[in-house]
Structure 1
Amino acid sequence: MMTARTAEAPEDLASSRAAPGSSTRLVTERADLAELAAPEVSVCVLRRGIDPDVEAFVRERLLPRPLAETLLVDPGAPDLAPLATGAPHSPGREAFLHDVRGLISLFADLTGCPRVGVRLARLDRPMCPRLHADMVTVRLVTTYVGPGTEWAEHAAVRRDRLGHRANGVPDEDSGVLRAGARLRRMAPFDVGLLKGEAWPGNQGRGAVHRSPPGTSPRVVVTLDALA
């Protein structure tokens, strides 16, 4: 039985985009996230640098305390104050809220959704430890602190062994990854768009992903498109 390789650091952008038959697009411009609409694409990742003000705020004000905030917002005028409850006004606080507001605007522009579900969480263990595909249209995920979400190419997995179908056997032993395949991992501040099984015409091709293994604390924001 094959063993899944450990997820590696993000690969070279040029070589990743040139890979024939890839279900992933790695981009550096926000406008290029529109490539998610291509039928063969299930994951689109915007590479972006770490904002030191945002990172400092998240580490100093959000990481030390429990976080489990869920909001339903109008993307045109989102009230995000609950995401920073208890944190005094500061350049870092405003930079963090500005960044999340920008992600919501970007997500709404790409999806056309009238409402966005926002979730901010501190995670001390993998929330979704096994490779799986979500029954959603599309989800945005950004990790501000800690290791990012892991994913696999569409052609790299056996879907009959995803999630509960592995009968409790860990991914590393279930054979869910085909021989020679490896997981990939988003870097902090990357913006990942994960196309789900409910995306029109995408049944059987939903983005296969999981939380990174280990107990390193993470601060993660996810966005869902809602009607």
Structure 2
Amino acid sequence: MSSLAINRDEISPSLIASRFIEGDKPTDLSDIYEEDCNIVAWRRDLTPEIQAIVNDFLVANRGFQVSMTLSPQDAFAPIHQALGGSEIMAPLSEDITELVDMFCCLFDLGKVGLRLTVLDKAMCPRFHVDKVLCRLVTTYQGSATEWLPHNVVDREKLGHGSEGKPDEQSGLFPKLGDIQQLTVGDVALLKGEGWEGNEGAGLVHRSPSLSAGEGRLLLTLDIT
């Protein structure tokens, strides 16, 4: 998409994708367009009502997962139906619908790919990069996404470069303290390898390990 084209002329390679930007307003997500940024997070607290809804939903819906392609104009009905369609679930359905609308508005999209999943273990346990333009992630309950700052990563140790060693032993990053983590409720945009001009700088991230009995509700939105 032309709106995602990034002009990197005369930008020092040392600055590319070196910043994490965070804010307390949804409009702060537009900072993903900054050339030297590959992750932006809107730090938000979920309402007690949504927290209670999500907790009850996880107890009753272990193994739940749904994927769909939505337009922002007609997103609520299929989301609400997927969540069971009861009046109790409406606040969560409305919150997800608002995120769909925001994501589509930010990137001028007519449709978006949505995935909502209940997890009891790490979905992508190894650090990796995504071959996408940009992905929205938010965790409604449970441990949230872990990521590494661009300047600490040895990308030659990703994938097969790890030689089968665990992330913490492969030399991918210097020390455990380098691992950063989002928190419940945060809405983050992760710039991927598919973003024009961002090759070799997609955000390195992974799913967190979950403790025994811990449930996680993860929402992702993708540019289709």
1:146 to 2:145 alignment = no
Which residue of structure 1 aligns with residue 64 of structure 2?
67
Aligned residues: CA RMSD: 1.6
**Residue type at the aligned position of 1:42:** N
- Within a 5 Å distance, the mapping from 1:198-213 to structure 2 comes to 198-213=194-209
Aligned residues: 203
Show CA shifts across 1:107-165 (max 9, x none): 11111122111111011111111111100000001100101001111101111111333
Which residue of structure 2 aligns with residue 97 of structure 1?
93
- Within a 5 Å distance, the mapping from 1:18-167 to structure 2 comes to 22-65=18-61, 66-78=63-75, 79-85=78-84, 88-90=86-88, 93-167=89-163
Contact 1:69 1:82 in 2 (8 A): no
What SS does the aligned partner of 1:172 have?
coil
What SS does the aligned partner of 1:135 have?
coil
Give 2:210's match in structure 1, choosing from 203, 214, 218.
Answer: 214
Q: TM-score, normalized by length of structure 2?
A: 0.86
Superposed displacement of residue 63, structure 1:
4.0
Which residue of structure 1 aligns with residue 169 of structure 2?
173
Show CA shifts across 1:198-217 (max 9, x none): 00110000011000123432
Q: TM-score, normalized by length of structure 1?
A: 0.85
Contact 1:156 1:181 in 2 (8 A): no
Change (3 A) 1:97 1:22: same
What SS does the aligned partner of 1:169 have?
coil
Contact 1:116 1:225 in 2 (8 A): yes
Which residue of structure 2 aligns with residue 18 of structure 1?
none
- Paired with 1:31 and 1:207, the residues of 2 have a C-alpha distance of 21
Show CA shifts across 1:141-190 (max 9, x none): 11001010011111011111113331221111111013585111111010
Change (3 A) 1:160 1:109: same
Q: Percent identity?
A: 34
**Residue type at the aligned position of 2:129:** A
Contact 1:63 1:219 in 2 (8 A): no
Contact 2:80 2:90 in 1 (8 A): no
Contact 1:83 1:120 in 2 (8 A): no
Superposed displacement of residue 194, structure 1:
0.3
Show CA shifts across 1:51-84 (max 9, x none): 1111111110244312110111012221312331
Gaps of 5+ in 2: 1-16
Change (3 A) 1:176 1:69: same
**Residue type at the aligned position of 2:215:** P
